[in-house]
A and B are shown apart, each in its own frame.
Chain A
């Protein structure tokens, strides 16, 4: 099916573990984004990518790593998970800057 998907949808991990959240879109959108959503903070941008092999930091990048070797995929890695990274993570894509973003269903991550 066309669209934007995220996996896993739910993940529980322990402090200090590395975990990777996957994002895949079938629209060939140039831009892709990772957000986290927390009560009291709303949606905050972690990293974004304007094209394959081009990534940039957002508002809250510390503790996260991204890569984009293919246009359709944009994985987010937590190198050493901390409890403060417990959150709901959303991936989004858009065809260009200043165009509407389309969001995936989210990944609920719990770090124990």
Chain B
């Protein structure tokens, strides 16, 4: 959906490097959800952010919500091959009636 833009579309990093994926909404954000998808599989829930300035971490993945910018970033520290996959952001935005709108995803490859 154009209402939710992810960048970059794809990313190739060397194992051990840090990386950041962004998700920007064109409308007011009420909640932001990060998911990871491996090829041929369903989406795995990573984190949910609901308040401006909120930051959550799980293992080496950190997500932040900048409410003023209507943007969230997902940062992976010291990437590993297990981090490879497609990262999708989903958001409850103004006009979505509580349903989630999803970005088109960022494909991450990690080279050993």
Q: Are B100 and A101 in contact (CB under 8 A)?
A: yes
Pick the contact of A42 from B1, B98, B99 — CB < 8 Å?
A: B1
| A106 and B41 contacting across the interface, CB-CB below 8 Å | yes
Q: Which of B26-54 contact A (CB under 8 A)?
A: 30-31, 33, 35, 40-45, 48, 50
Q: How far is the CA of A92 from the CA of B41 in the complex (A)?
A: 13
Is the Cβ of B92 less than 8 Å from the Cβ of A101?
Answer: no
Chain B residues with CB below 8 A from A106, complex form: 40-42
Query: What is the 8 Å Cβ interface bit string for chain A, positions 71-105, against chain B (1 contact, 0 not)?
Result: 00000000000000000001010000111111111
C-alpha gap A106/B88 in the complex (Å): 16
Pick from B1, B41, B48, B98: contact of A100, CB below 8 A.
B48
| Interfacial residues of chain A within 34-73, with CB under 8 A of chain B in the complex | 35, 40-45, 48, 58
- Interface size of B in residues (CB-CB distance below 8 Å): 23
CB pair A98 B41 closer than 8 Å: no
Q: What's the Cα separation between A101 and B41 when bound, in Å?
A: 15
Q: Cβ of A101: which chain B residues have Cβ within 8 Å of it? A: 33, 45, 90, 100
Which among B88, B98, B99 has the greatest number of chain A C-beta atoms within 10 A? B99
Count of chain A to chain B residue pairs whose CB atoms are closer than 8 Å in the complex: 48
- Closest chain A residue to B35 by CB distance? A103
Q: Is the CB of A42 within 8 A of B88?
A: yes
| Residues of chain B from 85 to 100 with CB closer than 8 A to chain A in the complex | 88, 90, 92, 98-100
> Per-residue 0/1 for A19-47: is the Cβ within 8 Å of any B Cβ (1 yes, 0 no)?
00000000000000101000011111100
* 28 pairs of residues in contact across A and B, judged by CB atoms under 8 Å: A33-B99, A40-B104, A41-B104, A42-B102, A42-B103, A42-B104, A43-B90, A43-B102, A44-B1, A44-B102, A45-B99, A48-B99, A58-B99, A90-B42, A97-B98, A98-B31, A98-B92, A98-B98, A99-B48, A100-B33, A100-B45, A101-B90, A103-B35, A103-B44, A104-B42, A105-B42, A106-B40, A106-B42
Q: Measuring CB to CB, which residues of chain A are less than 8 angstroms from any residue of chain B?
A: 33, 35, 40-45, 48, 58, 90, 92, 97-106
Question: Which residues from chain B sit less than 8 Å from chain A, CB to CB?
Answer: 1, 30-31, 33, 35, 40-45, 48, 50, 88, 90, 92, 98-100, 102-105
